Amino acid sequence: MRKSLFALSFISLFFLSAKAQNKGYWQQEVDYTMDVFMDVENYQYSGTQKLVYTNNSPDELNKVYYHLYFNAFQPGSEMDVRLQNIADPDGRMFVDGKSRIASLSPEEIGFLHAVSLKQDGETLSFNEEGTVLVVTLAKPLAPGAKTTLEMEFKGQVPVQIRRSGRNNKEGVALSMSQWYPKLAEYDFEGWHADPYIAREFHGVWGNFDVKITLNKKYTIGGSGYLQNPQEIGHGYEAKGSKVKKQKGKTLTWHFKAPMVHDFTWAADPEYIHDTLQVDGGPLLHFLYKDNDEIKENWKNLQPKAAETMQFFSKNIGKYPYNQYSIIQGGDGGMEYAMATLITGERKFGSLVGVTVHEMAHSWFQHILATNESKHEWMDEGFTTFISSLCMNQIMNQAKENPFEGTYNGYIKLATSGKEQPQTTHADRYDLNFAYGISAYSKGSIFLSQLGYVIGQDKLMQTIRKYYEDFKFKHPIPNDIKRTAEKISGFELDWYLTDWTQTTNTIDYGIKSVEKESDTTTKITLERIGLMPMPQDIMVIYNDGSQETFYVPLQIMRGEKENPYPQLKRTVLKDWAWAYPTYSFNVSSSGKTIKAVVIDPSQLMADIDSNNNVWQATE
């Protein structure tokens, strides 16, 4: 108990301090108190919600909006219609040529409805529009003011289709994500009351105080710290202690989650609950089905999860909470505050892989809370980047380039004619294929290629500084760019613009290698793609010796350090973008050039590597 209260006060104090130190930045704040009863027989639930909303914006607010995510799981919903009209529908939601949502019966659908709503005791009018509740305030909320919104609500858990639901294919009873009326975010861009059509979320930072009452046979795992472990038991009690028996058929679980922007939970009567204390880190909770086919993998997963937590804390920044839960539930894997829901029936390697990815989201989304609907590449891509490095280490993969798969995926998209800019709203991609590669692969390359541009040590410094400056906030693309500029001393607006706001591609080639004298060779490079980049060139001689040449990009206004300190490097004059070709002379001192290679690191996302290598003919 003392430990969880300390975490609450520490994080809240950090948040208040951060707000005070950044006078030009503001963000809204919300505190939830919820009391929920779940009927495990018909999967319907009812609850009360007291919501204290602080308007830290400079604007007067006359309306507020809530997300009612479960309403998406009904025939004819926007999610259902979109699923039926996209060329490559999600295979988890589209079976035998039909939308799984379209065939749901009234007993199988999901719903979430406000029954009543008051502002500071005064009854409010509201209108339910699909997955969004539109609320007109009785009294406008002035800048700097607080108001209390009290709601009664009811819901039904849908058959598991996407992320949330009941009785998924692995038999998990309840995966309760996006389950409560969630206040929409209001920021410097205005309201973000996006309907739930396909993917991605945005939420208000605050504290959650949640009580969940359900059948006492069920074990719950999720966000937050359990406040009454000695009443609950189920593996949460102090080791060696006795649990006080509770009368009746139900238990009321009481959780507090400080400074988060979401709250999720899952429950099942057959969960095994293991814990593992990370050295210098949080207590890990593992909740998974009592199934002989998966138990060994879940046991072996636990030390890998501890290694993962330590890797991310070292390379991004210290995990700020005292607990993290890894729970079998949902579909695939999905990140939530202080927890993840993942499928359990996996080969060990893929089980570790999905766990590593979702744990990385605890940093890139649940501490660095980007607007996923608008900047999904910042959470999915950055998570993919850091989890690739983590897997390479903890699974002893020994890959020379752990990002090779992301580059191959991006090049496939970039040359397909189907790419859309990364500024595209997550729901507006024409194809799931284009969204997935743009968010995960191209988003990851934003960082791995940034390391090519500014240097690997400067990249890792940038990531740690970005975390330190923007944790518990809502960073935008310019924030990571400006952090990299401050760390490196380079101008990087061109990089952010071309990579994220256009579909311009990188394509450089070796146009010619011409011997001008016995000791001099002229090398001419050409820029074929529209996106500019600095160039690393390696020259290999017939005696096996090597040297490198570096062509700075003029608009960068700087030069990175030598990435190959074991080799001689010559820094050449800048290449201004508008010039399509660039020539320089190599003084070979009587040696013969055997090969010339553009970007030996293969970290530049050149869409055609065939013209990146020149080899001398015999």
Distance between CA atoms of residues 539 and 262, nearest Å: 53
332: left (phi over 0), alpha (psi -120 to 50) or beta: left
- Check: CB of residue 12 under 8 Å from CB of residue 258: yes
Chain mean position to CA 118: 34
Question: Do 472 and 11 contact (CB within 8 A), yes or no?
Answer: yes
Q: Which residue has tokens 């009567």? A: 269
Strand 61-67, strand 132-141: pairing: antiparallel
Cβ atoms 501, 422 nearer than 8 A = yes
Those residues of the chain that have pLDDT short of 70 are 1-23
In this prediction, residue 22 carries a pLDDT of 55
Q: What's this model's pTM, rounded to 2 decimal places? A: 0.95
What values do phi and psi take at 304, rounded to 5? -70, -35
Given this model, what pLDDT does residue 590 score?
78
Looking at residue 589, its pLDDT comes to 77
**Long-range CB contacts (within 8 A, 24+) of 233-239:** 234/271, 234/273, 235/273, 235/274, 235/275, 236/273
Angle between the N-to-C axes of helices 348-360 and 376-394, in degrees from 0 to 180, rounded to the nearest 10: 130
